[in-house]
Chains A and B, each alone.
Chain A
Amino acid sequence: MRLVILDEYDLASEWAAKYIRNRIIQFKPSAERYFTLGLPTGSTPYGCYQKLIEYYRNGDISFKYVKTFNMDEYVGLPRAHPESYHSYMWNNFFKHIDIDPANAHILDGNAEDLEAECQAYEQKIAEAGGIELFVGGIGPDGHIAFNEPGSSLVSRTRVKTLAKDTIVANARFFGNNLSKVPTMALTVGVGTVMDAKEVMILITGAHKAFALYKAIEEGVNHMWTVSAFQQHPRTIFVCDEDATLELRVKTVKYFKGLMHVHNKLVDPVLSIKDQ
C-alpha cells in the first residue's frame, strides 16, 4: 500500500490528477488499446476533476481513447435530476473533455431490470479488458462506492439498500427532506473494484479521519469495506493532513518520509504535447 499525504485538499486533488494523467499517458492509449478508468462522484474527487479538465484544456491530456466506468448511481432518481450521478459526471467532467459518449459508462438506476443492468455492467467491464485504474472515494463510515458496512468484500455489481447514515448524510442534497433521498442504489461491488489492476482512493477532511484509520491501521473488516484494499497489490491512498488525524504518529511519519519516493510518480508530469 502507498499512503500519500499532502498538506491540504487542493494539493491532494492535484497530486491525484497528475497521477491519473501520467498513468494514462504512460499507457499510450490508441484506437486499438483503450485505457479503462473507474470513476467516483462526490465532493472529494471534485478538485481532481477540475485539474484534469485544466490539463485537457491546456492540451496535456486527451480522453479520446479512455473508457470510463462510474462506481454507482441512485435507483429511481430521474437521470436529469441535479443530484443524479449522471448529472454530476456530465457537469463536473464529461462536458468539459473530449471523451466519446459511447465510452462513458454509468449504471442506469432507472433500468427496467436492475439485476440485468448490473450483470451487463460487469460484462462491459470485462469486455473492456478490466479496469486499469479505479479511482474511488469513501464515506465517513468507510464505504467504498455504495458498499455500505456489512457488504461482502467479494461482492459484484448489484442493487444495494443505503444505510440510514448515508441517507441522512445525503438529505442536504435533497432539500433536507429525508423522504426525497433515494434509498437504493446500483453499485459496483468491492470485488469489482478489487479486480482493477490498480486502485487509488481519495480521502480528505477531518470527518474522514476515522475511516482512514479503520482502512489502514486495523484489520480487514466488512464493516469498513474500504479496508478490503489492504489485500490489493496496488493501492494508493491519497489524503490531506486533516484525514490523518486519527492515525498513529509513526504511521504518518513513516509515509511522509516516503513522499520523495511517491512524488517520483507525478514528477515529472507527462504531457501528450511532448510525444
Chain B
Amino acid sequence: MPSNRSVSDAPITQFINCRILRDHRLQREDLWVRDGRILDPEKLFFDEQGYADKRVDCEGSIIAPGFIDVQINGGYGIDFSQPSEDVGSGLSFVAKKILEHGVTSFCPTLVTSPPHVYHKVLPQVKVHNGGPHGAGVLGFHLEGPFISVEKKGAHPEKFLRTFRSGGIKDLIEAYGSLDNVAMVTLAPELASSQSVVRELSQRGITVSLGHSVANLSQAEDAVQHGASFITHLFNAMLPFHHRDPGIVGLLTSDRVPAGRTVYYGMIADGIHTNPAALRIAHRAHPAGLVLVTDAITAMGLPPGRHTLGQQEVEIQGLHAYVAGTTTLCGSIATMDMCVRHFKQASGCSVEEALEAASLHPAQLLGICNKKGNLDFGSDADLVLLDDELNIEATYISGEQVWGKGA
C-alpha cells in the first residue's frame, strides 16, 4: 500500500527521531530513503500519496553523509602498494573494515612505486559502488612518483620520476593507464608539470600538489591550470615563510580563479599536524578543509614492524615511523578519530567537523550531485553518530552495512 507502485516498487525507509546534517546544519528532520537514494517526502506525500514501509528509530542520533577518505594507503595488514595477483581481495578486506569508521567511499592510495607495481595493481581495481561488501571505490589516488626528492618523506627515492619526456607520456609510462584514477599528487615545480596538470584536469582527474618544494607562485600557476587540492597540508612541503609562504599560501591566495576553491588534506590525528597549525589552516580557509587519514598498513594493527610500499615501518603508540628513523610515514588514525580530534582541536562545530569528512571531499572530487550531502536524490550513504561523534551505524545506498554491537 505505502509505496506508489506506479512510480517504484522499492520499499521506503523513514529514519525517525534523528538530527540530520543538511544545508550546513543539524536539523530535526526525518530522513527518507528509496532505491538507495534520499527521497523528498513532501513529493512522496502529495504526488504519490505514499508513505514509509519501514521506520528506523534513531533514538536521537545524528545522521551525516558517509565519510569519504581520499587518501588511504591501506590498513589491517594490507598495503595497497604491494603488488600481488589478487589486489582486489586485500582492498575489499580494508573496504569492509573501514565501514566501522563511517567511511562509505574512498580513494585507495598508492605511494611512489616502480612502474611494474602500477601496471600490476591499477588494472585489478575498478571504480565501484559500496555495499555490504565494503566501502565504494571512487578511483585511485596516485601519490607520486612525480614528486620532489627534497620532500620525498617516506617515498623511496629510487623510484621518483620527472616529466623528462614532456608530460603525459611520462605519466602513461609510469602508470600504464589512467582509467580508474581519481587523483594524482605531484610536485608543481617539476619541469613540464603545467601541461600535465592541464591534461589531467581535462580528463576529470583531480590534481593535488604535494611532496614539493614549490614556492607560492608555482603553486598558484598550478591552480590556474586546474590543480585543486593540497596533499596533507604542512607535511612534505616548505614550511610557511612570510616572504614566500609556499604551497601553504594557497589557503589565502588572491590568485585562485573566481568560483573555484582550493581544498587541502588534513591528517587530523594529533601527530602529523600540531593543533595550533590545524587551527591556523581551519581559520584561514574553513571551506577547503578535507580530513584524510593517510592511513597505512598498520592502521588497525598492534605495534611493531610492518611493510609500506617498498619500506619497513615501525609503529610506536599512535606514531608510524620509517623503521629506525623518526620520519613520519603516514598515520594509523581512523576517519572517525580524525573527525573527533579535528572538532576538539579546532573548536569547530559538529557540522563543520562532519562536513570536512563528507561534503568537502565530495566537492573536491566533483561528486556532490550524489555524495557528501543528504540532499534529495543523493546516494543514501549515511553514518549514524552519537553526540560525541562515535559511529553507531553505517549505511550504504540505504542499507545498513555496519552497526555497533552487530
A residues near B (Cβ < 8 Å) are 79-80, 86-87, 90, 94-95, 100-102, 104, 106
Contacts and interface: CB of A to CB of B under 8 A. Distances in A.
B41 A95 contact: yes
B42 A101 contact: no
A86 B46 contact: yes
A106 B47 CA distance: 12
Interface of B, secondary structure class, is helix
A86 B45 CA distance: 10
B49 interface: yes
A87 B45 CA distance: 11
Contact of B50 (A87, A90, A101): A101
B30 interface: yes
Interface of B: 30, 41-46, 48-51
Contacts of A79: 46
A95 B46 contact: no
A90 B42 contact: yes
Contacts of B45: 90, 94-95, 101, 104
A87 B49 contact: no
21 contacts: A79-B46, A80-B42, A80-B43, A86-B42, A86-B46, A90-B42, A90-B45, A90-B46, A95-B41, A95-B42, A95-B45, A100-B49, A101-B44, A101-B45, A101-B46, A101-B48, A101-B49, A101-B51, A102-B49, A104-B45, A106-B46
A95 B30 contact: yes
Contacts of B46: 79, 86, 90, 101, 106
A121 to B, nearest CB: 15
Contacts of B51: 100-101
B297 to A, nearest CB: 48
Contacts of A95: 30, 41-42, 45
Nearest to B41: A95
Given A94-B45, A101-B46, A101-B48, 12 more contacts: A80-B42, A80-B43, A86-B42, A90-B42, A95-B30, A95-B45, A100-B49, A101-B45, A101-B49, A101-B51, A104-B45, A106-B46
Contacts of B49: 100-102
A111 to B, nearest CB: 13
A101 B47 CA distance: 9
Contacts of A106: 46
Nearest to A103: B49
Q: Most chain-A Cβ atoms within 10 A of its Cβ — which of B46, B48, B51?
A: B46
Nearest to A98: B51
A101 B45 CA distance: 5
Nearest to A95: B41
A94 B30 CA distance: 13
Contacts of A101: 44-46, 48-51
A104 B46 CA distance: 9
Contacts of B48: 101
Contacts of A80: 42-43
A196 to B, nearest CB: 24
